[in-house]
Amino acid sequence: MHGVLFLITLSAAGLFGLFIPAIMVALANAETELAIEMTLMASIGAFIALAILTAISGRKRQADRSLGFLALVGVWVATPLFGAVSFVVLADLALMPSWFEAVGALTTSGASVLVRETAPRGLLFWRVLLEWYGGFLTLASIVHILAPAGFGGLQGAGNRRMTGRHDNGVYRPEAYRVLLLQYCVITGFILLGLMIFGVNPLEAVMLGMVSAATGGFVPFVGSLEDNISAGAVTVMAFGLCAGTMSVFWRRRFIRSRGRIFSNNMEAKILFVIVCGLTVAYAARIVDVSGGSVVQNLVPALREGFFTASSLVATSGIETRPGVIALLPNIVVLAVIFVGAGVYSTSGGVKIFRIGAMWIYTIAELNRLIYPNSVDRLKFGDTAIRRDAMQAIWTYFIVAILVIGLGAMMIALTASGFEAAIVMAVAFFSNASPVYDALRPVAGEGSQNWPVFSALPSQLTYLLGIVLMTVGRLEVLVVLAVLNVRYWYNR
């Protein structure tokens, strides 16, 4: 159990360390009282975390797989609770909305109850930092724990491919160094591009972190097009596309740009989806804009590209209100439900799983005609094993059941039926801004479509917290940890 405590404390220590840049931003904006509160919280939290790490530094940390799952769930439960305390103190929110805010940040869902018009800059920066840190925790969870265990049909050596170490590298802080370095470099390139196109440094840093994490929190009032230039919007779109890519695709792209699509079916499908959505949104934007098609074509394609990237990355950010809703709701929900690359910060069930299910289904249909045929099923350069397919189908069915149950509970406690379905899918896919984007205009059922800051029940906040967390944890991990009989007989 020392390994479980170690990972939870290490995650909390990273969270408290993020207070340092937030304090600097608060001081730079003359928010002295906020800076003092942040300093006190950081000092107390860092002291406790270091004391625990020091106390268990000499203890043996087992690489037991079940304990790794328990540690993963512990990290994603405890870390948002620490973040919730910060919003209780710094934003003067009640406990449940604070917890909802922290989970919305750390899962990169983007769900928020903060009033951005009155929130201090230091607090907004802290909120963005949590979203960026959540993106890193997501990658670390997949690469170091979920993928090596083959959870939900994930295939690949995970942390061995990233660090060259075996699975017990999960308990070594240096095992995360390569992943963190890549994550920081991508963030740096995005913010540099934003600054080149005229975004002020502080907003460039915040938007760069949100893009790298494929998050959905915009740290200012108003739409993107009202606050940054068209070139900066395009930079963010490319940043979101980078966030949809597997961490291993990024390495391949750096080493050999021409081979990124070589035997990489997931990358090819992702490219086709983004291009198709770009054209579809551009056509709708031109259609509703009026005027000359030639004159509006380039701006429409640019806006369509950003919207397509935002949906596939399960970010949900819009350039302006109403753009995402230009396509039917069912199409938007399907895109965010599928998501993007397996080893990425995007939510959803992932393209690999949907593709593997399709290939396996076609093979089974062929087997009805040729019962004795032997098929070697592959998705790109990845062989599809029968045990992996069983895990994928199990994951898919459980995901559908969780969304259905969540939608039913939300409909009973907070909203109309359609809003409940959209909210459940958006929470599970970690794309909460899509719920706001699909809200009807005033007078067309908007009274049954409450905003997050006005949810009528504390239970609804709890349902959102659960859906965002299990969506980020690949669902099955939570069920495995909740297997009481296993832990009782252990």
Residue 194 domain-assigned (yes or no): no
Residue 429 to residue 471: CA distance in whole angstroms: 6
Q: Is 385's pLDDT higher than 80? A: no
Which of these three, 144, 170, 196, is where a domain ends?
Answer: 170
Residue 250 domain-assigned (yes or no): no
Residue 18 to residue 392: CA distance in whole angstroms: 36
pLDDT at position 170 is 65
Helix (H, G, I), strand (E, B) or coil at 412: helix
Could you give the number of structural domains in the chain? Answer: 2
pLDDT at position 164 is 45
User: What domain range includes position 11?
Assistant: 2-170
163: pLDDT confidence band, cut at 50, 70 and 90? very low
Residue 397 to residue 405: CA distance in whole angstroms: 12
Q: Are 439 and 332 in contact (CB under 8 A)?
A: no
Residue 88 domain-assigned (yes or no): yes
Task: Give the residue, 448 or 331, on which the prediction is more confident.
Answer: 331
Tell me the two tokens of residue 432: 């909460």
Q: Is 192's pLDDT higher than 90? A: yes
Which of these three, 114, 136, 170, is where a domain ends?
Answer: 170
Residue 158 domain-assigned (yes or no): yes
Which of these three, 108, 138, 170, is where a domain ends?
Answer: 170
Most confident listed range (136-140, 222-226, 462-466): 462-466
pLDDT at position 443 is 58
pLDDT tens for each residue of 91-104: 999 999 999 999 99
167: pLDDT confidence band, cut at 50, 70 and 90? very low
Task: Give the residue, 161 or 342, on which the prediction is more confident.
Answer: 342
Residue 479 domain-assigned (yes or no): yes
Residue 279 domain-assigned (yes or no): no
Residue 200 domain-assigned (yes or no): no
235: pLDDT confidence band, cut at 50, 70 and 90? very high
Q: Which residue in the block uniquely carries the two structure tokens 């760069």?
A: 208
- The H or E element containing residue 292 is none
Q: How would DSSP label each residue in 376-388? A: --EETTEE--HHH
CA distances from 132 to 14, 311, 330, 348 (A): 12, 18, 29, 18
pLDDT tens for each residue of 278-329: 999 999 998 888 766 667 788 899 999 999 999 999 999 999 888 999 999 9
Residue 197 domain-assigned (yes or no): no
